[in-house]
Amino acid sequence: MSVRLRPDAVEEAQEALRGHERVLPRGAGTKPALSSPPDGTVTLDVSGLTGIEEYDPEELTFTARAGTSLGEIEAALAENGQYLPFDPPLVAAGATLGGAVAAGTSGPLRYRSGGVRDFILGVRFLDGEGRLVRAGGRVVKNAAGFDLSKLMVGSAGRLGVMVELSFKVFPQPQAWATLTVDCAGLDDALALMGALATAPLDLEALDLEPPGRLWLRLAGLADAMPARLERLEGILERSGERLEGEEEGALWREVRDFAWVAEDAAIVKVALVPKRVPELEAKLEPLAVKRRYGAGANIAWLAWPGERPAQELDELLRSLGLAGVFLTGSPPKPMVGTHRGGAFAQRVKSALDPSGRFPDV
């Protein structure tokens, strides 16, 4: 009997999962490095599990099936003046809600608002045995039981197949404004970022385009914007280029959706802190790898050239003790560099996927 690998219902997904020894879920496939099955593994396509199940604008929360496109969710929220503050990438490319959680991808706005992990409220997922498990809830605050919703963030389909997710959202700011500032070089830019880290000023996004261009984004009441931009320039002790309106929004969408990454390059996310940037820069500069630092240099986004083996980046990151993940391209394993978790990770994986139906993390 052939089992459907593109289920429309949770029961079908359970049946499909149980019918195969090695399974990897896939949403819209916008992060193929995470959703391409290793040899002998079948793809469980969950892009048919769609639809917003509950959305109460006054509550600022929603519940949707995991295969729902982020575009559909953003549109529904926008109708009510709300948005996803974690700013997920690849919306226009068709990325799904479940895919954003599995990849753990947040965009530039995560700097101030928080990432996927800070907005997820609850999940229903299939474990490796096909059991349907619910964790978390639908309310904005909840400390009941182990926080399996958070564990799903970044799990890359290796710990469970998400079928339904609940999130909180925020009201959209009235206006946006961006200041780009060119510093004398990397050291100057990092020093300025250090000063901004403790400045009494709300920055929605703070990106570094090496070697020395800073991107600073403000949001809030339109009336307040000119005065805030002026104060920001005062703190920076230099003026920059101001951007507002449609052009400003488009610029950040390009950043968020990796328009700056060449087609044959792979998108890689690396976790770090600002003080580690010089070491990483010293390694990447000679390799001519295009890159950008997001969330106040808490994330490095790399465009890893197609002709360079993933192994090389794995070793490079290991030498620095940094963890990274390929989102696109076709590396042998998406996780590269030094990952933590050790015995805890192994034990959790064995509880969620005792027969090893999903690939290793």
Is the peptide bond between 211 and the residue preceding it cis, with omega within 30 degrees of 0? yes
If you count them, how many residues does the chain have? Answer: 361
Decide if residue 78 touches another protein (CB under 8 A): no
- Closer residue to another protein, CB minimum distance, 2 or 141: 141
2, 39, 40, 144: residue in contact with another protein (rule CB under 8 A) = 144
Minimum CB separation from another protein for residue 228, in Å?
A: 5
In 3D space, the residue among 139, 145, 136, 128 whose CA is nearest the CA of residue 164 turns out to be 136
Decide if residue 277 touches another protein (CB under 8 A): no
Decide if residue 18 touches another protein (CB under 8 A): no
84, 267, 313, 335: residue in contact with another protein (rule CB under 8 A) = 335
- Closer residue to another protein, CB minimum distance, 5 or 24: 24
Structure tokens at 34: 């995470």
Q: Which stretch binds another protein (CB under 8 A): 14-22, 70-78, 205-213, 221-229?
A: 221-229
DSSP strand pairing (205-209 vs 213-220): antiparallel
Q: Which stretch binds another protein (CB under 8 A): 4-12, 39-47, 65-73, 291-299?
A: 291-299
Decide if residue 189 touches another protein (CB under 8 A): no
Decide if residue 324 touches another protein (CB under 8 A): yes
One-letter amino acid for residue 295 of the chain? A
Q: What is the CA radius of gyration of the chain?
A: 21
Q: Which stretch binds another protein (CB under 8 A): 6-14, 178-186, 306-314, 346-354?
A: 346-354
- Closer residue to another protein, CB minimum distance, 110 or 217: 110
Decide if residue 35 touches another protein (CB under 8 A): no
Q: Which stretch binds another protein (CB under 8 A): 23-31, 87-95, 208-216, 337-345?
A: 337-345
- Closer residue to another protein, CB minimum distance, 71 or 114: 114
Are 83 and 57 spatial neighbours (Cβ–Cβ below 8 Å)? no
One-letter amino acid for residue 116 of the chain? V
Minimum CB separation from another protein for residue 354, in Å?
A: 8
Are 108 and 87 spatial neighbours (Cβ–Cβ below 8 Å)? yes
Separation between Cα atoms, residue 308 and residue 358, nearest integer Å: 28
DSSP alpha helices (H): ranges in the chain?
10-18, 32-35, 70-78, 97-103, 110-113, 116-119, 148-152, 186-197, 225-236, 245-256, 277-284, 310-320, 342-352
Decide if residue 148 touches another protein (CB under 8 A): yes
Q: Which stretch binds another protein (CB under 8 A): 9-17, 195-203, 282-290, 302-310?
A: 195-203
Residue numbers 80-139 binding another protein by CB under 8 A? 81, 104, 106, 110, 114-115, 117-118, 127, 131-135, 137-139
Separation between Cα atoms, residue 62 and residue 48, nearest integer Å: 19
Minimum CB separation from another protein for residue 60, in Å?
A: 7
Count Cβ atoms below 10 Å from residue 315 Cβ, excluding itself.
12
